[in-house]
Chain A
Amino acid sequence: MRTRHERVAVRDGAVEALDRGEDEGVGVRVRVGGAWGFAATRQATPSGAEEALHRALNVARTQPASTGAELAHEPPARGEHAGPCLEDPFAVSLEDKLALLGAADGALRSQPGLAVARAELSALEVQTQFASTEGALYSQRLTECGAGLMATAFDAGGAQVRSWPASHGGSVAQAGFEHVRGLDLAGTAPRVAEEVVALLTAPDCPAGPTTLILAGEQLGLQLHESVGHAVELDRVLGREASYAGTSFVAADEIGALRYGSPLMNVTADATSAGGLGSFLWDDEGVEGQALPIVREGVLRGFLSSRETASEIGLTRSGGCMRADGFARQPLVRMTNVNLEPGEAGTLEDLIADTPNGVLLDTNRSWSIDSRRLQFQFGAEAAWEIRDGRLGRLLRNPSYAGVTPQFWGSLDAVCSAPEWRLASVVNCGKGEPGQLARVSHGSAPARFRAVEMGVA
């Protein structure tokens, strides 16, 4: 695997970070009996790979006996693939990038009262050459690019933050620099700055059961934490119990578990255009697929590998094995776990159909238990909804819930034209730790009687 990355950030008119990196190496994964061994080396040469092979075999052989399942059959992957990228982000000059961020940072600071203004962009390219003793041989190149803004203001009442298009790195897509150019950071910055200052004097979001509309990044993260992780088959089978945790979902509940309301349709889709969880082959050589996870509120599938799929009797892996660079072995990771659109029209239609409630925007904090059942989220901002119209800006919104009850309260999902991908670029799992990058598609959705104001 060969990885290139770049991160550029401007803070309060000065360049905060200008990092560029590349690394390259070979990871060898072997199975001896039922035990896995994996060894990584930066020596990307035949002799380096051979030495890594010996280490992998050695660590596999020195472990206690294991009774691993057979691997689900997969035809050997062969070919070449390059993900979408119109404008190579590494070919865009630093001057152009700094000018773009500088304009956005300046537009943020045009609003009085800001404590910190920050604009950032990032790019990543991962090239994988994969070969297996089963005859697979492919090369794949995936390019990602994204950007975002963050404004902070504070007074004696505390600090407030607004980010756009999303917090935690902004909006990142599998795309070239055209994605960043399309975001119009500078054009949106004045509104972002105005909102963060307004939050300082906004009333606190009220506590108690409330009708809640979620959209974009926050709905994506809700999907990520309470659906995506819960249906990872390694967790379901107890393989991640000591770190990431297990799941409230059992392996034999396909077709039986009511996950949410009949409006809930979730697909794990490795073919979503622009999704960070899209690829032609996973890091186990399995073709990327679009798999039903929840249909009309009922569990229909899992995210799986060749081993975990086989263990529960599936004939084929879901193609979800991904590795964070050459020095990490592949794990069951999310492809793009998407909420399919509904028929509730536009966001404006949904608000008009809501007599009383709250619209939440942009994640600020998150936490969920190790079975992916009880969660708590905080957001940067909320707007009250009164008589079908958006009202006052509210600060410090938070909500909590229990996964099946929360998704059971879903009573409206906006229509296809409102459907967007939101990115998550900091998904931690595995030991040694791995960060995965994935997207979640959704249209704004409404949930009833959600417990607000928990934090």
Chain B
Amino acid sequence: MSGIARELAERALEAAPPGDGALARAESERSLMLRFARSQPTQATSVEDAGVEVAVVRDGHVGRASTNAEDDEALAACGRRAAEAAEAAARAGGPGPYPGLPAGSSPRGHEGHDPETARLDPVLGGAALEAAFSAAAERGVEAHGTWTVGEVEHAVASSTGVSSAERVTDAFMKVVCIAPRGRSGYASGVAVAVGDLDPPGLAARAAELAAAPGEPAELEAGKYPVVFEPAAVGELLELLGHCAFNGLLHAEGQGALAGRLGTRVAAAAINLSDSPRYGSTLPRSFDAEGVAKAPLPLIQDGVAHSVVHDTASAALAGGRSTGHASAPGGDPFGPTPSNMVMVGGGATGAAALARPVERGLYVTRLWYGNIVRADEALVTAVTRDGTFLIEDGEITGPATDMRLTDGALSILASVQALGSRAELVSDGELYGRRYARGSVCPPLRCAAVRFTGAAG
């Protein structure tokens, strides 16, 4: 599909009224997703789609319109709708706050495309499912999960000189194994190349967690030391992305880092950045406004360093876009990091992290995370698919799932140690047109995390 998005973007820009600037962003997607449950296939979805969004600026207002049609008439109509919207906004409100489309830049390339993955071979998917079913059966559990591959092309062209395109692939597999008595375990993998997934290994890991012997221990609500696996760390970082590193909330004074940049917000061992071309991430070159992405420190040695901006939030804050627009003209919910990377520490693994813990929890993943109050970074989520009790430095057996309700920054402030092996984690959520994301996270140990009760 090479070049579909670039061609669409260029044709749409050419057809759009100029306004005070115009931009066309196009995306094309080819993807395949296989789902399974109870060690049987349940759903298979193959998508081929492409679309374009046109943004026209008039007197500081942005009008946007989108279509997935590709004929000249449809593209011209799309441009007209965007221009009409911008004109109507300008007539209604006088000069608007949008400072104008960013100038063209030269995004750096990356190695985020794998031709084998782009074949979207359903036979590979079928084999992955068979491997998961087999590994689960060997351990007397059932396998549930997802295997998916996709190829996406993004392109942005604008009247201010942006002309960028990139092709990326992604592959994701997760396995949730459930034992006859209801205990579950989770493992997932995400990569640019489908060949880097390990379906039998993932299934074996998930099955091992599900088949752990013993009755789950029930813990009272309270504060406990916790060892978080990378998937759980990734969920916490995702929530922080929305409430702390979100440049719009920050500029409005509602973000969790408002007034705290340059101050200690996390343990000194915490180093977190947004690194769009880090080795094991899903790389990206530019954002929805065509602004080149570049590494951005978020927390350095525990000190809050930056938040992320699109052009609109940067104008509000008096700064510059950091290349985090998810929509031309800005997202009403604000920009968030796309490629977070947390630097690991010296611990060799989960066992080493658990060793100093007298009584605490080992958490494989967090689920249904939500922000309770953004300005406090107060979040809630439940543990799921692999929660264990740590006693006297050993992971001794299963524990019931618990509800975490605590400040995400407070949790990072209580980090005592990090594992040496950081891995790319993703929840694999793909709403709308495909945009795979993930964070690179190590496992870590926190001194005290607040749990408000049992869950599930």
Per the bound structure, the CA–CA distance linking A396 and B372 in Å amounts to 9
Q: Is the interface of B mostly helix, strand, loop or mixed?
A: strand
Measured as residues with beta carbon below 8 angstroms from the partner, the interface class of chain A is 35 or more
Q: Does A368 contact B (CB under 8 A)?
A: yes
Instruction: Check B92–A99 contact: CB distance below 8 A.
Output: yes
Q: Assess whether B453 is in contact with A374, with CB atoms less than 8 Å apart.
A: yes
Q: Are B46 and A20 in contact (CB under 8 A)?
A: no
Cβ of A40 and Cβ of B85 under 8 Å apart? no
B332 at the A interface (CB under 8 A): yes
Are B63 and A18 in contact, CB atoms less than 8 angstroms apart? yes
User: How many interface contacts (CB-CB < 8 Å) are there between A and B?
Assistant: 266
Contact with B along A211-240 (1 / 0, CB 8 A): 000000000000000000000000000111
Decide yes or no: A21 and B372 within 8 Å by CB, A58-B122, A63-B129 being known contacts. no
- Cβ-based interface call for A297 (8 A): no
Q: Is B91 an interface residue (CB 8 A)?
A: yes
Q: From residue 343 to 396 of chain A, which have CB atoms closer than 8 A to chain B?
A: 364-371, 373-374, 376, 378, 396
The residue that B93 contacts in the complex, of A14, A20, A52, A242, with Cβ under 8 A, is A14
Binary flags per residue of B412-456, CB closer than 8 Å to A gives 1, else 0: 000000000000000011111010000000000000000011111
Q: A21 contacts B65, CB within 8 Å?
A: yes
Tell me whether B96 and A15 are in contact (CB under 8 A). Answer: yes
Q: Does B217 contact A (CB under 8 A)?
A: no
Q: Is the CB of A20 within 8 A of B372?
A: no
Residues on the B chain within 8 Å of A36, using CB: 41-44
B22 part of interface (Cβ distance < 8 Å): no
A20-B41 CB under 8 A given contacts A158-B373, A373-B456, A455-B405:
no
Flag if A13 contacts B382 (CB, 8 Å). no
Establish whether residues A432 and B64, one from each chain, have CB atoms under 8 Å apart when the complex forms: no
- Measured in the bound complex, the distance between the Cα atoms of B50 and A243 in whole Å is 26
Residues in B whose Cβ lies below 8 Å from that of A428: 429, 431
Q: Are B40 and A64 in contact (CB under 8 A)?
A: yes
B interface residues, tally (CB under 8 Å)? 94
Compute how far the CA of A233 lies from the CA of B367 in the bound complex, rounded to whole angstroms.
21
Inter-chain contacts of A374 with B (CB < 8 A): 382, 403, 453-456
| Docked-complex contact B96 and A24, CB < 8 angstroms | no
Cross-chain contact A367 with B64 (CB below 8 angstroms): no
Residue in B129, B378, B384, B431 with the greatest tally of chain A CB atoms within 10 Å: B431
How far apart are B360's CB and chain A's nearest CB, in angstroms? 21
B69 touches A24 (CB 8 A): yes
Name B33's contact: one of A55, A370, A432 (CB within 8 Å).
A432
Q: Is there an interface contact between B37 and A432, defined as CB atoms closer than 8 Å? A: no
The yes or no answer to A67 lying at the interface (CB within 8 A) is yes
Given contacts A154-B254, A243-B146, A365-B372, contact A66 B37 (CB under 8 A): no
CB nearest neighbor in A for B122: A62
CB distance from B51 to the nearest CB of A (A): 6
Report if B280 contacts A (CB, 8 A).
no
Residues of A within 8 A of B60 (CB): 14
Would you call B48 an interface residue if the criterion is a C-beta within 8 Å of the partner chain's C-beta atoms?
yes
In the bound complex, residues from chain B placing their C-beta under 8 Å from that of A99 are 92
Question: Are the C-beta atoms of B61 and A35 separated by less than 8 Å?
Answer: no
Question: Are the C-beta atoms of A18 and B44 separated by less than 8 Å?
Answer: no
Query: B93 contacts A15, CB within 8 Å?
Result: yes
Closest beta carbon of chain B to A425's beta carbon, Å: 13
Q: Are B46 and A38 in contact (CB under 8 A)?
A: yes
B126 with A14: CB separation less than 8 A? no
State how many angstroms separate the Cβ of A396 from the closest Cβ of chain B.
7
The verdict on A400 contacting chain B, using a C-beta distance below 8 Å, is: yes
Contact B37 A159, beta carbon cutoff 8 Å:
no
B252 touches A18 (CB 8 A): no
Query: B92's closest neighbor in chain A, by CB?
Result: A98
Contact of B369 among A22, A35, A367 (CB under 8 A): A367
B42 near A115 with CB under 8 A, answer no
Are A38 and B380 also in contact (CB < 8 A) when A367-B369, A400-B452, A432-B31 are? no
A431 to B46, Cβ gap below 8 A?
no
A84 to chain B, nearest CB (A): 26
Query: Is there an interface contact between A378 and B372, defined as CB atoms closer than 8 Å?
Result: yes
Residue of B whose beta carbon sits closest to that of A225: B368
Partner of B67, one of A22, A56, A241, A242: A22
B70-102 interface code vs A (CB 8 A; 1 in, 0 out): 000000000001101110110111001100000
Partner of A435, one of B89, B122, B372, B431: B431
Chain A residue contacts of B61, Cβ below 8 A: 14-15, 18
Which residues of chain A come closer than 8 Å to B130, judged between CB atoms?
Answer: 64
A192 an interface residue at 8 Å Cβ cutoff? no
- Report the minimum CB–CB distance from A380 to chain B (whole Å): 11
A454–B453 touching, CB < 8 Å? yes
Docked complex Cα distance between A67 and B37 (Å): 12
CB distance from B123 to the nearest CB of A (A): 5
B310 at the interface (CB under 8 A from A): no
Q: A62-B125, A152-B254, A241-B176 are in contact. Are A25 and B49 (CB under 8 A)?
A: yes
A23 — nearest CB in chain B belongs to which residue? B68
- 13 extra A-B contacts, CB within 8 A, seeds A14-B61, A63-B44: A17-B329, A18-B62, A18-B64, A35-B44, A39-B45, A39-B48, A42-B48, A239-B37, A241-B37, A367-B382, A432-B33, A432-B45, A455-B372
Can you list 10 A-B contacts (CB < 8 A)? A18-B85, A20-B64, A22-B66, A38-B44, A62-B126, A152-B252, A154-B254, A159-B373, A369-B382, A432-B430
